Each structure stands twice: as C-alpha cells, then as structure tokens.
C-alpha cells in the first residue's frame, strides 16, 4: 500500500492514505475517512499494515500509547513538509 491512494475496507468504508511511517519494520498509515462522494471527512485513524502471505490488510491501531507515539511522528512529518513547502516558495 502507498500514500496518496484510496482504499476500501471490508465494511465498504473508504479511506485516503495521507501519510506513512515505518516503525520496527511495520508500516503505519494515517488515513482520512471519505464520504460516498470520496470527499474528505473530519474522521481519521491510524492503520497498521498486516501481511498474510500475498494478502495485505489494514488493521486499525487501537492501543492509545501506540496512537500517541504515531501521532507524534505524523505531526512531525507534517511540520517538515510545511517547512519544505515554505522553503520552496522563498527560493
């Protein structure tokens, strides 16, 4: 799975994969829920990529300590991206 893509879960819910990080050889995705028109909603969550043979699944991260840790990483990524964009505009 890659960022900037839309995934559909078994429950037919759609999510936009906005960011990714790898921690201890595990991929985690920050995802925004989409409505029926594929417009972004306010709801977001963090998924862990699970490999089962050739199949790839996304499991929602529910452990609060892991969520806090990953949220810090995703926030740092966002700040870095914003600083990079501001630097590009100044150049």
- 11-29 per-position pLDDT tens digit: 889 999 999 999 999 999 9
| DSSP H/E element including 5 | strand 5-8
**pLDDT of amino acid 40:** 93
End-to-end CA gap in the chain: 33
CB 61 within 8 A of CB 48: yes
Task: Go through the chain and tell me how many residues it has.
Answer: 91
Cα–Cα distance between 50 and 82 in angstroms, integer?
30
pLDDT along the chain (91 residues), means of 10: 90 93 95 94 95 93 96 89 74 56
Cα–Cα distance between 74 and 69 in angstroms, integer?
9
**pLDDT of amino acid 43:** 93
Q: For residue 41, what are its two tokens?
A: 């909603």
pTM, two decimals, is 0.86
**pLDDT of amino acid 11:** 83
**pLDDT of amino acid 81:** 75
């Amino acid at each position: 799975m890659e960022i900037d893509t839309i995934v559909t879960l078994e429950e037919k819910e759609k999510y936009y994969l906005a960011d990714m990080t790898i921690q201890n050889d595990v991929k985690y995705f920050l995802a925004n829920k989409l409505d029926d028109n594929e417009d972004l909603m306010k709801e977001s969550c963090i998924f862990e990529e699970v490999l089962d043979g050739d199949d790839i699944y996304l499991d929602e991260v529910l452990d609060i300590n892991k969520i806090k840790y990953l949220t810090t990483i995703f926030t740092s990524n966002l700040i870095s991206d914003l600083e990079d964009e501001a630097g590009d505009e100044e150049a």
